[in-house]
Amino acid sequence: MKLVASLLTCLFPSVSGADAVLAYKAGVEGIVVSNHGGRNCDTARPTLQVLYEVMEALRGIRYDKRKFDVYLDGGIKRGGDIFKAVALGKLKCYINCMVGHKCIFSG
């Protein structure tokens, strides 16, 4: 894919730490942590909970933050959720805006 276009390659959706490690080792440049709207199901985990698992797995293999991005899609409903994501080590997350567009918070 890199030979065709010089775009950022991300894996979507990532729902486990194992997904993140496999993506990193495969040379993907980032992942999007998402349950793909699965909170409507009774058994789906919240994205912040999945983010914790993903970040722990990546820290376990000592990933390079400069070469691999982790985006958080969903689960951000209040400002406090952004601080939780940042505390887990994630600095990029999507926020559902009231107008129905997705904004990116990057800090």
Residues taking part in catalysis? 36
Q: Are 10 and 24 in contact (CB under 8 A)?
A: no
Give the span between the Cα atoms of 45 and 81, in whole angstroms: 15
Cβ partners under 8 Å of residue 57, min gap 6: 16, 17, 18, 20, 21
Backbone angles phi, psi at 36, to 5 degrees: 50, 50
Backbone angles phi, psi at 105, to 5 degrees: -100, 125
Identify the three-state secondary structure at position 62.
coil
